[in-house]
Amino acid sequence: MYRPNPTAEEPYPRLAPAMPRPVKWDLIENNYDMLVRYATAIRVGTASTEALLRRFTRNASHPVYQAMLELGRAQKTIFVCQYLRDRELQREINSGLNVVEGWNDVNDVIFFGKSGELSSNHRDQHELTIGSLHVLQAALVYINTLMIQDALAAPKWADALTGEDRRGLNPLFTMHMTPYGEVKLNMSHRLSLSASAPAEPTDGTDNDDQ
């Protein structure tokens, strides 16, 4: 966190150790036009954030880059102040982080090869790997959602779950997965999610292999 200006009275003395210095507004003001130009270029797509950062990181002392950092410090301070005062914002962020952590945990199970690291430096290999991961993610969520729907269709769950219970349902679970070993697929049958409904062959033939 950063103080708004050097002469400001500290209304929260206990936060003083967390605010080492004031924001350098003069640095932002002197480079404001260039900040607007770069922000506009990113917004309209004439320049990428990656390209701009690569350009400035070669010269970290560039005044425009320093102004960007200073503006970021001011925005971060504003956000932290809002976060400390707003309990609803804290709950929202905590809920979002829990979802992200759950998603990452599932990815660790799916993307287990080579400890989940991208060992290749080739962009096409990266795209193929990440694309395959997205397909597996979508397939897992789809199957888990169908399984939850099939379970909840039973009459005994009609009045057993409250609205809070249903909002707590999450298709990001992997206890039924076996990521290691050999996986056999029978593409002539649809997956049977219900014990009472046997799988039907997709080609109209009778085949008991699963």
With beta carbons less than 8 A apart as the criterion, state whether 35 and 64 touch: yes
- Residue given tokens 């979002």 in the structure block: 96
| Residue 3 lies inside a defined structural domain of this protein | no
Please report the pLDDT score of residue 159 as a whole number: 79
Please report the pLDDT score of residue 33 as a whole number: 94
Q: What is the mean pLDDT of the chain?
A: 80
Residue numbers of the domain that contains 35: 13-85
Please report the pLDDT score of residue 210 as a whole number: 37
Give the count of domains, the chain.
Answer: 2
| Residue 129 lies inside a defined structural domain of this protein | yes
CA 169 – CA 112 distance, rounded (Å): 25
| Residue 74 lies inside a defined structural domain of this protein | yes
The last residue of one of the domains, among 85, 102, 131, is 85
| Residue 5 lies inside a defined structural domain of this protein | no
Residue 80 and residue 131 in one domain: no
Phi, psi of 3 (to 5 degrees): -70, 150
Please report the pLDDT score of residue 61 as a whole number: 84
Please report the pLDDT score of residue 116 as a whole number: 63
Quick one: three-class SS letters along 1-26?
CCECCCCCCCCCHHHHHHCCCECCHH
Please report the pLDDT score of residue 200 as a whole number: 53
| DSSP code at position 121 | -
Residue 205 amino acid letter = T
| Residue 91 lies inside a defined structural domain of this protein | no
Give the torsion sign (CA, 108, 109, 115, 121).
Answer: negative
Please report the pLDDT score of residue 103 as a whole number: 81
Q: What is the pLDDT along the chain (210 residues), one digit of tens a residue?
A: 888 877 656 667 787 788 888 889 999 999 999 999 999 998 998 888 888 888 887 778 889 999 999 999 999 999 998 998 999 999 989 888 887 888 888 888 888 766 667 777 777 888 888 888 888 888 888 888 888 888 888 888 777 878 778 777 888 888 877 777 676 777 787 777 665 555 555 554 444 443
For residue 153, what are the contacts with CB-CB under 8 A and spacing of at least 6? none
- Cα 96-115-137 angle, rounded to 5 deg: 45
| Residue 155 lies inside a defined structural domain of this protein | yes
| Residue 77 lies inside a defined structural domain of this protein | yes
Q: Which two tokens stand for residue 108?
A: 């660790």
Residue 27 and residue 80 in one domain: yes
Long-range contacts of 134-139 (CB under 8 A, 24+ apart): 136/110, 137/106, 137/107, 137/110
CA 70 – CA 153 distance, rounded (Å): 55
The last residue of one of the domains, among 85, 100, 134, is 85
Q: Per-residue pLDDT tens for 27-81?
A: 999 999 999 999 999 899 888 888 888 888 777 888 999 999 999 999 999 999 8
The last residue of one of the domains, among 38, 65, 85, is 85
